[in-house]
Structure 1
Amino acid sequence: MGNTRKTSERDTLQTRYLEVLSEMYPSIAAASTEIINLQAILNLPKGTEHVLSDIHGEAEQFFHVLKNGSGAVRAKIDDEFGNSLCIRDKKQLATLIYYPAEKLDLIEKEEEELDDWYKITLHRLIQVCKRVASKYTRSKVRKALPKDFAYVIEELINEKEEMTNKEAYYNGIIDTIIRIGRSRAFIIALCELIQRLVIDHLHIVGDIYDRGSGAADIMDHLMNYHSVDIQWGNHDLLWMGAASGQAACIANVIRICARYGNLATLEDDYGINLMPLANFALEVYADDDCELFHVQDHGDADMLSRIEEQTEMKMHKAISIIQFKLEGQLIKKRPGMLMENRLLLDKIDPETGTVEVDGRTYKLLDTKFPTIMWSDPYQLSKEEEKVMKRLIHNFKNCEKLQRHVQFLLKSGSLYLCYNNNLYYHGCVPMNEDGSFREVYLQGKGYKGKALYDVLEKNVRRGYYLPESEEKAYGQDLMWFAWTNENSPVFGKEKMATFERYFLGEKDTHEERKDPYYRLIEDENVSEMVCDNIIREFGLNPKDSHIINGHMPVKLKKGESPVKGNGKLFIIDGGFSKAYQKTTGIAGYTLVYNSYGLKLVTHLPFESAEKAVKEETDICEDINVIEKLIERKYVADTDNGKVIQQKIDDLELLLKAYRNGKLRENAGK
């Protein structure tokens, strides 16, 4: 009796669902047409995925890598023309596609027979455009076409070689474009379309912010990108916490901007007023040279006056002391974070100028602390409280920053399972034996995927909830994720910020990594560890990979980005200029197309101007790290599974129409 009732309920629910589906497909013809269309899509080649990590504000290099698709554009040129074009012509065509306006400026000055060059180049670009468009439906390509030239481009790229009857028609289109002076605009439109179509989907595996000066430009670009996801890094979470109004996160953001000469990102790009901090710093630290707080890697160092430089150094010290105080308050407020060992201000002896760290006493390099009240060293002075109140207000009310952070929340997550690959920024916290470490939050233990899930839930609460203890805890967890040893996006025993400023002993600056990083390097266990992680996140180790960044791969020291017998790739190879001295390169990227996975090694990027003039690229090495035995199609992807389910549902609808269970509505 019970089984009969369940079957009846299931049939009723299915009928209701099919009735809703019939509103969209009201006839046998409509449902059949959609099934045919969807089935055809399943047989298209899988789109190309492009993976970048640890961009750290390096906008110019980021844009260059996007433009060339980490070698994907050049590969399409090679596929299309083979040996029929010389290397010089291929390089010129590739550079034109990357930087059409800039390259045209040079060519139009140098080329004597410009109309002939236009004609040859237009034909070549149309050939490349046909090739990159061939992986998509006409509908998808049509949506990507530039409005001004949509009809003309669609006609040209759908031309068939065997259609000799239309040869004059197509040549006439190109001749007319040249004759009426629209060559330049049309070439630019074709180049931008190729850039758009050569990559189907973009993954950013964390750390868009900090160090470089172009984070806001990068975020603007990502918000307009056709298909992108972001796995938050600890630097991203820091900015998300700051946007929510979390004071310790705000102090950290400003300190890092000051340390890397990046205050313009806050003031100019985001319009955040730092004058309250500047005025406070100039007054309180007037007699302090603040030499320990010099600016690192300042892009405009030669343009700074001595007064400007001194002001930035004083602001740098002022916000650093405020940060240490706020973090101390937070550690005391949240004892469950287990960070008491990072309470260092109360370990300072102002009489001897020393500090006790981990049971040892060290001489301080700087003993000038005019705002610290030694009876309660973590209490902000009245002036510091005023500064922070203004800064919190400015961050929370910065419309552009809020828009960017809301995009991170909408398009991002702490991890992603996508087409059988697992993406996360840092690590999965582990014990020395390779088991997942249990982390306690509010008295409850979490490990592996569950730890990621509870952190992400609280991040969203910390931003979106109205003022409440639940919101405050979520905000504080964003700071926890930034700096705690149990955070999967940090993965070190401590963040030695205080030690790096105030202690000369280099061993105190060391930040011991999570056992995860040792285990994935150990040839005896790395593959097993990777398989365990892959299973933990619900994927099959047989055909899945882990992609993460966060820890720069020091290629010049012999390190490899490939771990676990090809199961894991760390693709932070030094995109940030701050890391390139130790890595020896300028980052790795991954390209995952229908034929397999390619790991791309990049050289440092000097400028777009040099790339255009010298037709240079920064893809030094492209290694095929996994070639598929059988080419992948849309049917093999996550989206393919969704499409197949829709086909199955439509076939049920067809059956319902044909057996009389539902009536067609021909009037719709």
Structure 2
Amino acid sequence: MEDKFTDINEIKTKIINLSATLNLPKGTEAFISDVHGNDDKYLNIIRSGAGNISRKVGELFNGRLTIPNQQKLVCLIYYPEDILKKITPDLEGNDLEQWYMDTTNQMIEVLRYVAEKYPQNVIDQSLDTKFLDISEELVFGNLRAEDKRQYYREMVKQLVKLGLADEFIISLCHAIQKLAIERIHIIGDLYDRGPNPNKIINHLTETWQNFDFEWGNHDILWLGSMAGSKLCMINLIRISARYHNLKLLEDVYGIDLTSMVKFATNRYVPLPNFEPKVAWAGMTDEEKDIDNCIQQAAAIMEFKLEGQAIKRRPEFGMDDRLLLDKLGLDKTTVTIDGKKYHIENGCFQSVNPGDPYQITHSERVVLIDLINQFIQSNKLNEDMWFVADNGGMYLEHNGNLLFHGCIPVDQKGNFLSMKIGGKEYAGKEFLDYSEYIVKDAMRHPTTADCFNSDFLWYLWEGSNSPLFGKDKMTTFERYFVDDEKLQEETPNPFFDLCNEEWFANRILREFELSTRGHIVNGHTPANENANPIMADKKVIVVNGMFDAKHNSKIGGHTLLYDSYGMRLETLKPFANKNKSIAEMSDVVIDKEIVEHSSERRTIKDTDYGKNIQKQIKHLREFC
């Protein structure tokens, strides 16, 4: 909203405030990727300021609190509601009152410390309005002033006596969390696998102001399903069943899966290669069998629809993915690249040898029922437009380039082009075109087999897709052929070339950015031993969602970019919130400096600062 001024003095006051703001330290940016609907781990990272809060507490209380007591304070800031329930019942009388006094004073110190670089209006926005007057007094007042010392002490004492201490401490913790990070960058794959991507969206909607999404290939499945792509939708349903995540569709987005459940369980029987990819604890046998059969039904429909799209779109160059017509007559073998392979536990009973990509009448009924529900789901539309309006294929921010996957190139680092409608698209232009198609498809949802619908699916698994970044997606082979070589998906040369500084500079120049900037992406590596910092620290990978159940020694990486520079944070493996609380464990296990500046960057040095300078220039015209 534009400011409205009544006189020249108001304009001058605004200029003074804006000019002063330019000299404040740059806010802290946090970069995370591959959230995959795991809201507990996402919140664990965000509540901790991606490790920033622990560092601040260490700086503030070094020599004043023991390391264990610092960690208790840090964990209280992360999870105040849970920790207060554990601590306060064990204390009573003077001990309880003293604990509240000490803890509240420590919280005020931490809040003042993280708030130092913000103007008062930003700090006020982080404070609970219920306690705004008290919080302002404690945050902005001189707590050491002799004349007011008793005044401040009585204020805290009355909070305790009136039974408001818990609520006040919680409000301070939430304010610290908000001020520890100025902006959150989610670099792809908010959706798929995990059960609660909607809760992450709710958290951002209700709690945060500055954030952005760089779409990942898994996000495209959800955006495309809302836009009417049956191919995106059937992939989404298959993955949801594979990760025992169908309740998200039913309970949150109101998708009635009855037609799919009946169809799948009537035509398929559970097979070992379609077992859900989650721990079975808490799952009933019936749920396991339903997930198993839905996976089979969805996979077969997926292969049929893919075959139709590949034949419709020769420009996609995906003929090697036409495999249903390579099945033997008895459907127990498949010929791939001229070699015959045995099929493990096939489920091809609905595949017509005379027309293998033909959708049966029963399959069509299920597909039409489901895709119409996806298009008409109000909640799905709301969440997908939230992701679309606050995101894109890439982001240029403060001199850095953010994207999820890759910029497709050949072995020499030349940008690969794709010819569409007689025009060649490559590099930045291809990403811009892709973003246009995604949003155009969402603005004009249709169940027809149109180009927009097919192209969104191509972004999911096409060989030249900047979101996928591999030569092919071997879903068929991984389900049916016991041959690891055949199941391999070869990454685009981009990922190897990211080790080269000249290549990173080429990418930055393609987006008209200075070669002093950085490229930050997610998606890879899946290998915890791979170096996430490459090309003389110009390329940083921040896949923050390594899977704890695979006994990984780390939980992935996040990146912090503050006024002093960049730090890559190696995350501790995350099992669940309760375990983190019980162990009073921190989020970060290691830090590596990517870039350090002896002179602090200010808001003047940021994109936000450039906008402020334009605003000041405009306002001066009226003086």
Same fold at TM > 0.5: yes
- TM bucket normalised to smaller: over 0.9
Show the counterpart of 1:282: 265
The Cα shift of 1:607 comes to 2.4
Change (3 A) 1:86 1:466: closer
Q: CA deviation at 1:467?
A: 4.8
Alignment partners' CA distance in 2, 1:451 and 1:396:
27
Q: What residue is the counterpart of 1:665 in the other structure? A: none
Shift of 1:553: 4.6
- Residue 611 of structure 2 is matched in structure 1 by 642
Contact 1:462–1:472 (CA<8 Å) still a contact in 2? no
Q: Which residue of 1 aligns with 2:49?
A: 69
Q: Output the amino acid matched with 1:629.
A: S
| Amino acid paired to 2:273 | L
Q: 1:368 to 1:540 in 2, by over 3 A?
A: closer
> Once the two structures are superposed, what CA deviation does each residue of 1:559-595 show, in whole Å capped at 9, x if it has no partner?
20001110001111543447x45x5421100011111
How many positions carry a matched residue from both structures? Answer: 619
Provide the C-alpha distance between the structure 1 equivalents of 2:398 and 2:56, rounded to a whole number of angstroms. Answer: 23
Q: Are 1:188 and 2:170 an aligned pair? A: yes
Residues 277 and 387 in structure 1, CA contact (< 8 A), matched pair in contact too: yes
Structure 2 counterpart of 1:623: 592
Q: What is the rounded CA distance, in whole Å, between the counterparts of 2:155 and 2:285 in structure 1? A: 61
Deviations 1:93-134 (A, max 9, x none): 111111111111111122341001000111111111111112
CA contact (8 A) 1:54 1:576 kept: no
State the match for 1:31 in structure 2. 11
Residue 653 to residue 468, structure 1, CA distance change in 2 (3 Å): farther
What SS does structure 2 have at the residue aligned with 1:591?
strand
SS where residue 622 of structure 1 aligns?
strand
What is the deviation of 1:213? 1.9
Identity %: 37
Q: Indicate yes or no: 2:538 matched with 1:567.
A: yes
Equivalent position to 1:334, from 313, 317, 326: 313
Question: 1: CA distance between counterparts of 2:123 and 2:553?
Answer: 40
Within the alignment, does 1:179 sit opposite 2:161 as a pair? Answer: yes
What does 1:102-141 align with in structure 2 at a 5 Å threshold?
A: 102-112=82-92, 113-141=95-123
Contact 1:421 1:546 in 2 (8 A): yes
Check conservation: 2:543, 2:556, Cα contact below 8 A. yes
Q: Structure 2: how far apart are the matches of 1:46 and 1:73? A: 17
Mapped partners of 1:381, 1:588: distance in 2: 46
Gaps of 5+ in 2: none
Q: What's the CA shift string for 1:250-271, capped at 9, x where partnerless? A: 1000111111222222222323
Distance in 1, Cα, partners of 2:22 & 2:346 = 68
2:406 corresponds to 1:427: yes
| Distance in 2, Cα, partners of 1:303 & 1:185 | 34
Contact preservation (8 Å) 1:56, 1:575: no
Give the distance between the partners of 1:95 and 1:573, measured in 2 at CA: 20
Residue 201 of structure 2 corresponds to which residue in structure 1? 219
For 1:467 and 1:101, locate their aligned partners in 2 and report how far apart those are by CA, in whole Å. 45
| Residue in 2 that maps onto 1:608 | 577
Do 1:98 and 1:191's aligned partners in 2 also have CA atoms closer than 8 Å?
yes
Structure 1: distance between partners of 2:237 and 2:409:
32
Match of 2:512 among 492, 515, 538: 538
Matched, 1:165 2:144: no
Distance 1:367 1:129 in 2: 60
Kindly indicate whether the alpha-carbon contact (under 8 Å) linking 1:233 and 1:489 is maintained by their aligned counterparts in 2. Answer: yes
Counterpart of 2:466 in structure 1 is 488
Q: Any conservation in 1 of the 2:404–2:521 contact (CA below 8 Å)?
A: yes
Structure 2 partner of 1:100: 80
Q: Look up the equivalent residue of 1:446 and give its one-letter code.
A: Y
Whether 2:382 is the aligned partner of 1:403: answer: yes
For residue 546 of structure 1, report the CA deviation from its aligned partner.
0.3
Write out the 4+ residue segments of structure 1 that deviate beyond 6 Å after TM superposition: none
Shift of 1:308: 3.0
Pair 1:154–1:549, CA change in 2 (3 A): same
Indicate which of 37, 47, 62 corresponds to 1:82.
62
Partner of 1:548: 521
Q: Rate the CA distance shift 1:162–1:291 in 2: closer, same or farther, 3 A.
A: closer
What are the equivalent positions in structure 2 for 1:138-149 lying under 5 Å apart? Answer: 138-149=120-131
The equivalent residue for 1:10 is none
Match of 2:419 among 422, 440, 454: 440
The alpha-carbon distance between structure 1 residues 73 and 573, as it changes in their structure 2 partners (threshold 3 A), is closer
Q: CA separation in 1, counterparts of 2:189 and 2:393?
A: 12
Residue deviations 1:223-248 (CA, integer Å, cap 9, x gap) = 33221100000000111101112001
Q: CA offset at residue 489 of structure 1?
A: 0.7
- Residues 253, 352 of structure 1: CA spacing in aligned structure 2 closer, same or farther, 3 A cutoff? closer
TM-score calculated relative to the size of structure 1? 0.90
CA distance in structure 2 between the aligned counterparts of 1:368 and 1:213, rounded to whole angstroms: 28
**Aligned partner (choices 507, 529, 533) of residue 503 of structure 2:** 529
* Aligned partners of 1:25 and 1:31 also within 8 Å: yes
Q: For the residues of structure 2 that align with 1:72 and 1:492, how far apart are their CA atoms? A: 35
Matched residue SS, 1:493: coil
User: Which residue does 1:233 correspond to in 2?
Assistant: 216
2:56 touches 2:114 (CA, 8 Å); kept in 1? yes
In the other structure, the counterpart of 2:274 is: 293
Q: 1:584 to 1:442 in 2, by over 3 A?
A: farther
Q: How does 1:253-332 map to 2 (within 5 A)?
A: 253-285=236-268, 288-298=269-279, 301-332=280-311
1:88 to 1:302, Cα distance in 2 relative to 1, 3 A: closer
* Alpha carbons of structure 1 residues 633 and 321: separation in structure 2 relative to 1, 3 Å: same
**Counterpart Cα distance in 2 of 1:367 and 1:561:** 39
Distance 1:634 1:177 in 2: 37
Q: For structure 1, list consecutive stretches of 5 or more residues without a partner in the other structure.
A: 1-20, 655-668
One-letter amino acid of the structure 1 residue matched with residue 493 of structure 2: P
Q: Which amino acid aligns with 2:318?
A: M
What CA distance in whole angstroms lies between the structure 1 residues aligned with 2:416 and 2:146?
68
- What CA distance in whole angstroms lies between the structure 1 residues aligned with 2:256 and 2:512? 46
Q: Which amino acid aligns with 2:210?
A: S
Q: Give the C-alpha shift of residue 296 in structure 1.
A: 1.3
Cross-structure match for 1:593: 562
Aligned match of 2:40 = 60
Shift of 1:161: 4.5
Q: What corresponds to 2:345 in structure 1?
A: 366
- Correspondence 1:456 to 2:438: no
State whether residues 229 and 447 of structure 2, in contact with CA within 8 Å, keep that contact through their aligned partners in structure 1: no
Q: Aligned-pair distance for 1:216? A: 2.3
Aligned partner of 2:24 in structure 1 is 44
Question: What is the rounded CA distance, in whole Å, between the counterparts of 1:50 and 1:590 in structure 2?
Answer: 6
Native 8 Å contact 2:227 2:446 kept in 1: no
CA distance in 2, matches of 1:46, 1:597: 12
Using the alignment, how far apart are the partners of 1:101 and 1:440 within structure 2?
A: 55
The structure having more radius of gyration, on CA atoms, is: 1
Q: Would you say the 8 A contact 2:226–2:445 is kept in 1?
A: no
What is the rounded CA distance, in whole Å, between the counterparts of 1:283 and 1:382 in structure 2? 15
Whether contact under 8 Å (1:44, 1:135) holds in the other structure is yes
What corresponds to 2:454 in structure 1? 476
Bigger shift: residues 138-147 or 313-322: 138-147
Shift of 1:89: 1.8
* C-alpha separation in 1, matches of 2:205 and 2:383: 8
- Give 3-state SS (helix, strand or coil) of 2:41's partner: helix
Structure 1 residues 265-295: Cα deviation after superposition (integer angstroms, max 9, x where no partner): 222232311111110112112xx44232111
Kindly indicate whether the alpha-carbon contact (under 8 Å) linking 2:228 and 2:446 is maintained by their aligned counterparts in 1: no
Distance (Å, rounded) in 2 between the aligned partners of 1:626 and 1:588: 16
**What one-letter code is carried by the residue in structure 2 that aligns with 1:319?**
A
Name the residue aligned to 2:477. Answer: 499
Comparing 216-225 with 482-491, which one deviates more in the overlay? 216-225
